[in-house]
Chains A and B, each alone.
Chain A
Amino acid sequence: MQAIDRLTIDSQLEHLQAEYVGTGHADLNRFGWAVNIQRDSYASYIGHYPLLSCFASAENESVGWERYNFMQKVLLPCGLPPEREGD
Chain B
Amino acid sequence: MYLYSLTLQRATGVVCAVNGSFVGGKTQEIVVARGKTLELLRPDEAGRIQILHSVEVFGAIRSLAQFRLTGSQKDYLVVGSDSGRLVILEYNVAAARFDKVHQETFGKSGCRRIVPGEYLAVDPKGRAVMVAACEKQKLVYVLNRDAAARLTISSPLEAHKSHVICYSVTGIDCGFDNPIFAAVELDYSEADLDPTGQAAADAQKHLTFYELDLGLNHVSRKWSEPVDNGANLLVTVPGGGDGPGGVLVCAENFVIYKNQGHPDVRAVIPRRDDLPAERGVLVVSAATHRQKSLFFFLLQTEYGDIFKVTLDHEGGERVKELKIKYFDTIPVTSAMCVLRTGFLFAASEFGNHALYQFQSIGDGPDVEASSTTLMETEEGFQPVFFQPRPLKNLLRIDQVESLMPIMDMKVTNLFEEETPQVFTLCGRGPRSSLRILRPGLAISEMAVSQLPGTPSAVWTVKKNVNDEFDAYIVVSFTNATLVLSIGETVEEVSDSGFLDTTPSLAVSLLGEDSLMQVHPNGIRHIREDGRINEWKTPGKKTIVKVGSNRQQVVIALSGGELIYFEMDITGQLMEVEKHEMPGDVACLDIAPVPEGRQRSRFLAVGSYDNTIRILSLDPDDCMQILSVQSVSSPPESLLLLEVKASTGGEDGADHPASVFLNAGLQNGVLFRTVVDMVTGQLSDTRSRFLGLKPPKLFSAMVRGRQAMLCLSSRPWLGYIHQGRFLLTPLSYETLEYASSFSSDQCAEGVVAVAGEALRVFTIERLGETFNETVIPLRYTPRKFVLVPKKKHLVIIESDQGAFTAQEREENKKVFFEATGIGENGTANNGDQMENGGGDNDEEKDPLSDEQYGYPKAVSDKWVSCIRVLDPRTGETTSILELQDNEAAFSVCTVNFHDKEHGTLLAVGTAKGLQFLPRKSLIGGFIHIYRFIDDGKGLELLHKTQVDGVPLALCQFQGRLLAGIGPVLRLYELGKKRLLRKCENKLFPNTIMSIHTYRDRIYVGDIQESFHYCKYRRDENQLYVFADDSVPRWLTAAHHIDFDTVAGADKFGNIFFARLPQDVSDEIEEDPTGGKIKWEQGKLNGAPNKVEEIVQFHIGDVVTCLQKASLIPGGGECLIYGTVMGSLGAMLPFTSREDVDFFSHLEMHIRQEHPPLCGRDHMAYRSAYFPVKDVIDGDLCEQFPSLTPDLQRKIADELDRTPGEILKKLEDIRNKII
Interface residues of A (CB under 8 A from B): 18, 20-22, 35, 39-40, 42-44, 46-51, 53-54, 56-65, 68, 71, 74-76, 80-84
Smallest distance from the beta carbon of A24 to chain B beta carbons, Å?
14
Q: A57-B350, A80-B195 are in contact. List 18 more A-B contacts (CB 8 A).
A: A21-B135, A22-B114, A39-B113, A47-B82, A47-B117, A47-B134, A49-B1124, A50-B1099, A50-B1122, A53-B350, A62-B302, A62-B349, A64-B334, A64-B349, A65-B284, A65-B302, A80-B194, A81-B194
Is B136's CB under 8 angstroms from A75's CB? no
25 A–B contact pairs at CB < 8 A?
Answer: A18-B162, A21-B113, A21-B162, A22-B113, A35-B192, A46-B134, A48-B1051, A50-B1123, A51-B1050, A53-B350, A53-B1123, A54-B405, A54-B1123, A57-B350, A57-B780, A59-B859, A64-B285, A68-B167, A71-B134, A74-B165, A75-B203, A76-B200, A80-B195, A81-B192, A81-B195
Interface centre among A39, A49, A65, A71 (most CB of B within 10 A): A49
Looking at the assembled complex, report how far the CB atom of A48 sits from the nearest CB atom of chain B, in whole angstroms: 6
Known: A21-B136, A65-B282, A81-B193. A60 touches B802 (CB 8 A): yes
CB pair A53–B349 under 8 Å, yes or no, is yes
Contact (Cβ within 8 A) B302 A64: yes
Give every chain B residue within 8 A of A43 (Cβ-Cβ): 111-113, 118, 133-135
Minimum distance in angstroms from A27 CB to a CB of chain B:
14
A44 contact set on B, CB distance < 8 A: 111-113
- Smallest distance from the beta carbon of A42 to chain B beta carbons, Å? 8
- Asked if B634 is at the interface of the complex by the 8 Å CB criterion, the answer is no
B285 and chain A: residue at smallest CB distance: A64
Q: Per-residue CB proximity of B309-348 to A under 8 Å, as 1/0?
A: 0000000000000000000000010100000000000000
Q: Does chain A have a CB within 8 A of B651?
A: no
Interchain CB contact (< 8 A) of B284 among A57, A60, A63, A75: A63
- Of the candidates B194, B232, B334, B799, the one whose C-beta lies within 8 Å of that of A63 is B334
A63-B334, A76-B191 given as contacts; is B1050 within 8 A of A54 (CB)? yes
B15 close to chain A: CB less than 8 A: yes
Q: Is the CB of A48 within 8 A of B60?
A: yes
Contacts of A54 in B (CB 8 A): 405, 1035, 1050, 1101, 1123
Contacts A39-B113, A57-B780, A60-B801: A74 and B284 contacting too (C-beta < 8 A)? no
A57 adjacent to B282 (CB under 8 Å): no
Tell me the dominant secondary structure on chain B's binding face: loop
Q: How far is the CA of A11 from the CA of B407 in the complex (A)?
A: 51
Scoring A21, A59, A84 by chain B CB atoms within 10 A of each residue's CB, the highest score goes to: A21
User: B332 — which chain A residues lie within 8 A by C-beta?
Assistant: 62-64
Identify which of B13, B111, B114 contacts A53 (C-beta below 8 A). B13
Q: Does B217 contact A (CB under 8 A)?
A: no
The docked-state distance in angstroms from the alpha carbon of A44 to that of B60 is: 12
Contact for B1051 among A51, A57, A75, A80, CB less than 8 A: A51
Q: How far is the CA of A13 from the CA of B1151 in the complex (A)?
A: 36
Contacts of A83 in B (CB 8 A): 195
User: What's the minimum C-beta distance from B778 to chain A, rounded to whole angstroms?
Assistant: 14
Tell me the minimal C-beta distance from B208 to chain A in angstroms: 16
List residues of chain A with CB within 8 A of the CB of B186. Answer: 75
Chain A residue contacts of B799, Cβ below 8 A: 60
Interface residues on B, range: 35 or more
Q: Is B188 an interface residue (CB 8 A)?
A: yes
Interface centre among A40, A60, A80, A81 (most CB of B within 10 A): A60
CA–CA, A74 to B188, complex, Å? 9
The 6 closest A-B pairs by CB, nearest first: A47-B111, A64-B284, A43-B113, A62-B302, A60-B800, A50-B1101
**Which of A22, A59, A64, A81 gathers the greatest number of chain B CB atoms within 10 Å?**
A64
B129-144 interface bits toward A, Cβ cutoff 8 Å, 1 = contact, 0 = none: 0000111100000000
Binding site secondary structure of chain A = helix
Select from chain A the residue with minimum beta-carbon distance to B61: A49
**Which of B165, B801, B1122 contacts A71, CB < 8 Å?**
B165
Measured CB to CB, the nearest residue on chain B to A84 is B195
Q: B1124 — which chain A residues lie within 8 A by C-beta? A: 49-50, 53
Among residues of B, the one whose C-beta sits closest to the C-beta of A62 is: B302
Complex alpha-carbon distance, A83 and B196, angstroms: 8
| Most chain A Cβ neighbours within 10 Å, of B117, B186, B282, B1122 | B282
**B197 at interface, CB cutoff 8 A:** yes
Cβ of B1035: which chain A residues have Cβ within 8 Å of it? 54
Q: Which of B49-68 contact A (CB under 8 A)?
A: 60, 62
Q: Within the assembled complex, what's the spacing in Å between the Cα atoms of A76 and B1035?
A: 28
Task: List residues of chain B with CB within 8 A of the CB of A22.
Answer: 113-114
Q: Is A49 a contact partner of B113 (Cβ separation < 8 A)?
A: no
Expressed in whole angstroms, the minimum distance between the Cβ of A22 and any Cβ of chain B is: 6
Taking CB atoms and an 8 Å cut-off, the chain B residues in 1033-1073 that contact chain A are 1035, 1050-1052
A39 CB to nearest B CB, Å: 6
Q: Which residue of A lies closest to B915 (CB)?
A: A59
Question: CA of A76 to CA of B203 in the docked complex: distance in angstroms?
Answer: 11
B176-212 with Cβ < 8 A to chain A: 186, 188, 191-197, 200, 203
A51 and B1101 form a contact (CB under 8 A): yes
- Which residues from chain B contact A48 at a C-beta distance below 8 Å? 60, 111, 1051-1052
Chain B residues, CB < 8 A from A51? 1050-1052, 1101
B435 to chain A, nearest CB (A): 16
Q: Is the CB of B135 within 8 A of A74?
A: yes
Contacts of B118 in A (CB 8 A): 43, 46-47
The minimal Cβ–Cβ distance linking A59 to chain B, given in whole angstroms, is: 6
Q: Which residue of A lies closest to B107 (CB)?
A: A20
Interface flags for B109-129 (1: CB within 8 Å of A; 0: not) read 001111001100000000000
Contact of B113 among A40, A57, A82 (CB under 8 A): A40
CB distance from A40 to the nearest CB of B (A): 5
Q: Are A56 and B203 in contact (CB under 8 A)?
A: no
Residue B173 CB within 8 A of the other chain? no
Q: State whether the Cβ of B429 lies closer than 8 Å to any Cβ in chain A.
A: yes
Q: Which of B75-131 contact A (CB under 8 A)?
A: 82, 111-114, 117-118
Q: Is the CB of B1052 within 8 A of A75?
A: no
> Within 8 Å CB of B350, what residues of A?
53, 56-57
CA distance A48 to B1101 in the complex (A): 10
- Chain A residues with CB under 8 A of B1051: 48, 51
In angstroms, Cα B860 to Cα A59, docked, is: 10
Bound form: Cα–Cα A70–B976 in Å: 46
Q: Within 8 Å CB of B802, what residues of A?
A: 60
**In the assembly, what is the distance between CA of A54 and CA of B404, in Å?**
10
B79 to chain A, nearest CB (A): 14
Q: CA–CA, A80 to B303, complex, Å?
A: 33
Indicate which residue in B165, B282, B429 contacts A60 across the interface (CB closer than 8 Å).
B429
A49 to B800, CA, bound (A): 21
Is B112 in contact with A50, judged by CB distance below 8 angstroms? no
Q: What's the least CB distance linking B391 to chain A, in Å? A: 20
CA distance A77 to B82 in the complex (A): 24
Rounded to whole Å, the gap between the CB of B137 and the closest CB of chain A is: 9
Most B C-beta atoms less than 10 A away, residue of A50, A56, A61, A65 = A50
Q: Do the beta carbons of A80 and B197 come within 8 Å of each other? A: yes
B1100 within 8 A of A: yes
- Give B768-811 interface residues, CB cut-off 8 Å to A: 780, 799-802
Q: Which of B135, B196, B1124 is most buried by chain A, counting CB atoms within 10 A of its CB?
A: B135
A61 with B302: CB separation less than 8 A: yes
Least Cβ–Cβ distance between A66 and chain B, in angstroms: 10
Is there an interface contact between A62 and B284, defined as CB atoms closer than 8 Å? yes
Chain B CB count within 10 A is highest, among A22, A47, A56, A82, for A47
**Cα-based distance from A44 to B193 in the complex (angstroms):** 24
- Shortest Cβ distance from B117 into A: residue: A47
By beta carbon, the residue of chain A nearest B1124 is: A50
**Contact between chains at A49 and B15 (CB < 8 Å):** yes
Do residues B114 and A80 form an inter-chain contact, with CB atoms below 8 A? no
Across the interface, name the chain A residue whose C-beta is closest to B166.
A71
- Whole-angstrom distance between the alpha carbons of A24 and B1101 in the complex? 29
Interface hits, B810-835 → A, CB 8 Å: none
B1177 proximal to A (CB < 8 A): no
In the assembled complex, the CB of A25 is this many whole angstroms from the nearest CB of chain B, namely 15
